[in-house]
Each structure stands twice: as structure tokens, then as C-alpha cells.
Structure 1
Amino acid sequence: MVYDQKTWDLQFRPVGHSLPYKQGCPRHWGCRSATLPWLKTMRELGIDVDEVKSTRASMDGQVPASLNFETWLKGKSKAFQDEKLGPGRADLWRRGVITLSDLLDQRGNPLSLAQLKSLYAPD
């Protein structure tokens, strides 16, 4: 079992730490944690086979599961980037003035181009 990046075996004994398992999840009111099984790899099971590379679907077909949106967007055309971000935002992003995270405020609301320029590219 895995909780708070700690693991326990199937008898609920700590693995690599001393934190007791207690009752599992939820641990308190409003708890957002979950108890999940931790699966062994094929090699850990004694089978000499490479793991299957993880993929996920995208509009371009299957892509590596490790591919993040920013890396994927960098591989798209300038026109596509302009269409998705807006030409001004896309230009700031391509020049490295802003990251994709900078496009939103702390509440997840989009910032206008004027707000972005005043925050990150004052003239």
C-alpha cells in the first residue's frame, strides 16, 4: 500500500520507514488521500522481460506517457501555437518570456495579454 509516498506490505508493515499504517484512508475529515496497490515490476516477480513503455492518446495518436503539454506544444507549428494560445501569448512563450503556467493567475483564471506584458515584459 502507498500513502503519503510511504509504502506498506500486504500485512501493513512499513517498508523503509517506521510510520504505522493505522486505519488507512481517509485519515481525517476532508482527506484527499487514497490507498492504492503498489504493483511489482516483471523483474521483481523474477520474469526477465522489459516493461512495456507507457503511452497515452493524443490528437496525434499514441504518445509517451511522460510527454507533457509544453513539450508537445513546442513540436507543433507556429500557426497551431498561435491558434491555441493567441498570437501575443504564443510569441511571449516562444521567446521564453513566460511559461505556460504564467498564463494563469493563482486561481486558474487566464491573464490578458496586457497583464502578461506588464508582469513579465515591461518596456
Structure 2
Amino acid sequence: MAHHDHQATILHKDQYGYLVYCPKCYGFQIAYGTFFLNQSLEDMESFTSTVNRYYHKYGLRKDRKRRDVYLETPYAGFGILLSSEDLERLNTMLQNGLLIVQARDRISQQ
């Protein structure tokens, strides 16, 4: 998100990362481990869906700390390596964040 006067809402923050949402511009900031993303709501929903798919496919591996799950990105030759533990934490952060935003949107529409 560019610097502006909007009041961003912290949806999640812990030692692993954070998720911030700006209701004025509908933008998200995601920081997890060593990566950082600025995304629109549509991109956030797509990224969340991708992480959720990977989590359900690789989340129950025996060696949950080994970073061997490769998430492709739109950039050729560049991806994100995560462990099963990382996937679980990131998936939970993203899923909960979207639920909070959706609930707030429903409340504000009433």
C-alpha cells in the first residue's frame, strides 16, 4: 500500500508475520518469514486459495520443519519455499484475515 491517510487494520500479527487491510483502498499487506506482498482483494483471495490448496496437499508431512514446498509465483524462476509448519501458519493467517474482512463488510452493509 502506498503511503496515504487511510487507517489500515491489523488483522494478524505475530512473530512469523502480519496481515494488514486498508478498507479505503481494499488493499492488503502480507509479510511472512522473508517475503512481503501488497495485494488487491482479488489477488489476496487467489493467493489464499493457492496457499490453502498447498496446505491440504502438503500440510501433513512427517518432517514439518523441512522447507521443501515450493509455491510458484508469476515471476519466472522465482518462488517461495515453505515448510508444512509455515504453510499451516500462513494458511491460518490468510483464512482468518479474509473471514474478518468479509464479516466487517457484511456488518457495514446492514
TM-score (norm 1): 0.20
Q: Rg larger in 1 or in 2?
A: 1
TM-score (norm 2): 0.22
Structure with greater contact order relative to length (CA < 8 Å, sep ≥ 6): 2
Q: Which structure is higher in strand share?
A: 2
Q: Which structure is higher in helix share?
A: 2
